[in-house]
Structure 1
Amino acid sequence: MARITKSKFGRTSFTKLLGHNLEIMTAWSELADILENDSKLSKNLKEQVRRTLAQNNGCTYCKAKGKPDTILQDEKTSVAVGFAIVFQNHHKGDVPDSSFAILKEYFTEAEISELCAFICFTTAQQYFGAMMKLEAEL
């Protein structure tokens, strides 16, 4: 059971926890919609990154949406997932320059910016879910 009751506002269990503060819920949801959909990076690539992050970020709600694919379809997705793992294994985002050097071989600067923003935002979402003890929906 979540640590606080769900509000009547929001579309998902996650947004209903944010729904106690409509401005936060609205802004958070708008940014989530922008970051999660196709942009410089594909929605599928970002979903694999999200699933990878979820395995270690402690949110059972996020984990329940599935594990990352064991066989990734393309190199860019593999590199992005690998970078997400490196991010999680370094204290406070202190990612080595060598990891960014690898990113630069596969991604434009705009794509790297989007990937890093997505990783940070997704981590924040998953930490919020873990902090609130948001459970998986069955």
Structure 2
Amino acid sequence: MDQRTFDGTSGWDPFTRDCPSRRLLDRIGDKWSVLVITSLEGGPLRFSELRAAVDGVSQKMLTQTLRALERDGLVSRTVHPEIPPRVEYALTATGRSLTGPLQVLTSWAVEHMGAVAEAQSRYDYAASLS
């Protein structure tokens, strides 16, 4: 392993270009990932239930997001042997460990949205004058 990306004493370094932890931060910082993980916090959901819970996500984007989260070990996919087959998505233990930090981030966004919207308006107004 490259010494720049992992050091046995300090761990992964997302500030290093090639560190895999940077890609993980990209994944968990993605808006669809945040919304899917938060939606699954209450328990397993079927694809159609997830799509309804995450307003605005396309079928293609939800599929890509679920596959990526499954690959990263944050979401599990279970196919129940029924006719027609029933597929459910659920958080893994690692995925559940992420819900606390995401709740804090989501709460922060809701709490500060008014101040952010005001700042955006001031910025856009000033930019329109120049």
Whether TM-score is above 0.5 comes out as no
Q: Which has the higher contact order (CA 8 A, sep 6+)?
A: 1
Larger strand share, 1 or 2: 2
TM-score (norm: length of structure 1):
0.29
Larger Rg: 2
